[in-house]
């Protein structure tokens, strides 16, 4: 894989740490800013909202920039946003800084996916996307625990200063190693008119819906994994972090495996990963009272969850090929985060108004089946379109 691809991985690592490290610093932030833990938790929701709204806003504003220039600009936004987090005098200023930082998230991964696939041959595009997303998975395994430790020992603001430094390093490696774009062909400029055009394509919309539904299932379970492990399975609080390392290892394995399988056969990889995710979640609901089987299931959940990412991203890129592709790619990143937000709500609904904590994984397991149904429906529409076009070309046959 080209060195430029690992430059994108560095940026993905920094963004991943920023998104998730706040989970380990909630108590520190709430105590320092004199807000409740639930209010501090809204900093996670605010970031997710920033990702969702940042994709169309930045897409419309920056559509005529070259990909390399935009990636560098996004790392500047990312760095400034983290500096603002470190300097935030109060809760609402920190919330605003988090939202600003999140604006870079969807566009970076969206544009980065397009750049990554352009760096490799046709049969390695999904693997290239997987390599870039490895930065996100490594952030969960190494970056978040280190950032949490740093914030707990030197104050939560020190974590954001450290992530700001990561942003500067990522900007430098992107500037050095990512090749300058060639001039875009006529019609490739991604202004607001192309934004509307790409969203009008039914295959793209169905691809985005598939992404949302798949990650509703993942985050409905993952958001409440700590209380599930302690209250249902019987683990101690101290055991949660090591078990989450198993989940993180599954993320890396699933991400790289999903990329390889998608390079070989995209459609089977997409459908198979969605089915595997559903099976793991449903099976997990029957293992929660056995500690060994639960740990195994946690690792499989990480693998199955992230095995969907390269196929889903590649699928949307293919459906949006041409004008507006970068925008659609960014929207798919936003779709992942929208799924995260809805999944967290769904899990909470099951706990508070449904059958309870022990049924979260079972309910979550049925949502990827909806994603699978949407993907199959999209394939059926494509086959019908192909058949009609063939009939027009060969009307007498």
pLDDT of residue 29: 84
pLDDT band at 316 (very low <50, low <70, confident <90, very high): confident
- Residue 129: Cβ within 10 Å count: 32
Residue 145 reports pLDDT greater than 80: no
Contact 110, 97 (CB under 8 A): no
**pLDDT band, residue 283 (cuts 50/70/90):** very high
Per-residue model confidence (pLDDT) at position 136: 78
pLDDT at 387 (0 to 100): 59
Between 265 and 178, residue with greater pLDDT? 265
Higher-confidence position of 155 and 320:
155
Q: pLDDT (tens digit, 9 = 90+) per residue, 22-79?
A: 777 777 888 888 887 667 777 877 887 888 787 677 766 766 778 888 888 888 988 9
Whole-angstrom Cα distance, residue 336 to residue 215? 6
Q: Which residues contact 326 (CB under 8 A, 6 or more apart)?
A: 59, 63, 67, 110, 111, 114, 190
Q: Residue 351: what pLDDT?
A: 84
In this prediction, what percent of the chain has a pLDDT beyond 70?
A: 88
pLDDT of residue 391: 52
Distance set, CA 3 to CA 66, 69, 139, 167, 342 (Å): 19, 18, 19, 18, 36
Q: Which residues does 115 contact at the CB level (< 8 Å), separation at least 6?
A: 4, 8, 67, 68, 71, 178
pLDDT digits (tens, 9 = 90+) for 344-381: 788 888 888 888 888 999 999 999 999 999 999 999 88
Averaged pLDDT of the chain: 83
Closest CA to 270 of 220, 310, 321, 299: 310
Measured CA to CA in angstroms, residue 6 lies from 13, 65, 132, 173, 178 at distances of 10, 22, 7, 9, 9
Contact 325, 317 (CB under 8 A): yes
Q: Cβ distance 22 to 29 under 8 Å? A: yes
Task: Say whether pTM exceeds 0.75.
Answer: yes
pLDDT above 90: residue 193: no
pLDDT digits (tens, 9 = 90+) for 287-303: 999 999 999 999 999 99
Task: Quote the DSSP letter at residue 190.
Answer: -
Query: Residue 376 has what pLDDT?
Result: 94
Question: Has residue 320 got a pLDDT over 50?
Answer: yes
Residue 186 has pLDDT above 50, yes or no: no
Query: How far, rounded to the nearest angstrom, does the alpha carbon of residue 280 sit from its chain's CA centroid?
Result: 20
Q: Which of 84-93, 204-213, 386-395 has the lowest mean pLDDT?
A: 386-395
Which of the four pLDDT bands, split at 50, 70 and 90, describes residue 340? confident
CB atoms closer than 10 angstroms to residue 269: 25
């Amino acid at each position: 894989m080209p060195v430029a691809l690992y430059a994108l991985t560095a940026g993905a690592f920094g963004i991943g740490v920023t998104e998730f490290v706040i989970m380990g610093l909630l108590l520190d932030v709430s105590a320092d800013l004199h807000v409740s833990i639930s209010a501090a938790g809204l900093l996670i929701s605010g970031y997710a909202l920033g990702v969702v709204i940042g994709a169309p806003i930045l897409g419309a504003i920056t559509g005529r920039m070259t990909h390399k220039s935009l990636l560098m600009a996004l790392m500047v936004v990312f760095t400034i946003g983290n500096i603002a987090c470190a300097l935030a005098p109060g809760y609402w200023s920190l919330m605003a800084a988090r939202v600003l930082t999140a604006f870079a998230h969807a566009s970076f991964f969206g544009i980065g996916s397009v750049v990554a696939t352009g760096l490799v041959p046709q049969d390695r595009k999904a693997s290239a996307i997987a390599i870039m997303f490895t930065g996100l998975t490594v952030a969960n395994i190494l970056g978040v625990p280190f950032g949490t430790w740093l914030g707990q020992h030197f104050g939560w603001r020190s974590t954001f200063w450290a992530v700001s430094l990561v942003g500067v390093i990522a900007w430098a490696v992107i500037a050095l190693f990512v090749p300058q774009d060639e001039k875009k062909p006529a019609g490739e400029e991604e202004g607001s008119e192309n934004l509307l055009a790409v969203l009008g394509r039914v295959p793209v919309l169905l691809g985005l819906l598939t992404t949302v539904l798949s990650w509703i299932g993942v985050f409905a379970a993952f958001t409440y994994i700590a209380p599930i492990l302690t209250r249902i399975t019987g683990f101690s609080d101290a055991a949660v972090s090591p078990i989450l390392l198993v989940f993180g290892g599954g993320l890396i394995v699933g991400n790289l495996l999903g990329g390889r399988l998608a390079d070989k056969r995209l459609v089977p990889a997409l459908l198979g990963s969605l089915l595997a995710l559903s099976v793991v979640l449903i099976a997990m609901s029957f293992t929660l009272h056995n500690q060994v089987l639960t740990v195994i299931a946690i690792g499989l959940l990480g693998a199955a969850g992230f095995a969907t990412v390269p196929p889903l991203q590649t699928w949307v890129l293919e459906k949006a090929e041409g004008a507006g592709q970068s925008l659609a790619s960014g929207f798919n990143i936003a779709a992942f985060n929208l799924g995260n937000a809805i999944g967290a709500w769904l899990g909470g609904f099951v706990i508070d108004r449904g059958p309870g904590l022990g049924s979260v994984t079972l309910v979550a397991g049925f949502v990827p089946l909806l994603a699978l149904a949407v993907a199959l429906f999209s394939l059926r529409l494509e086959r019908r379109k192909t058949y009609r076009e063939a009939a027009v070309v060969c009307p007498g046959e």
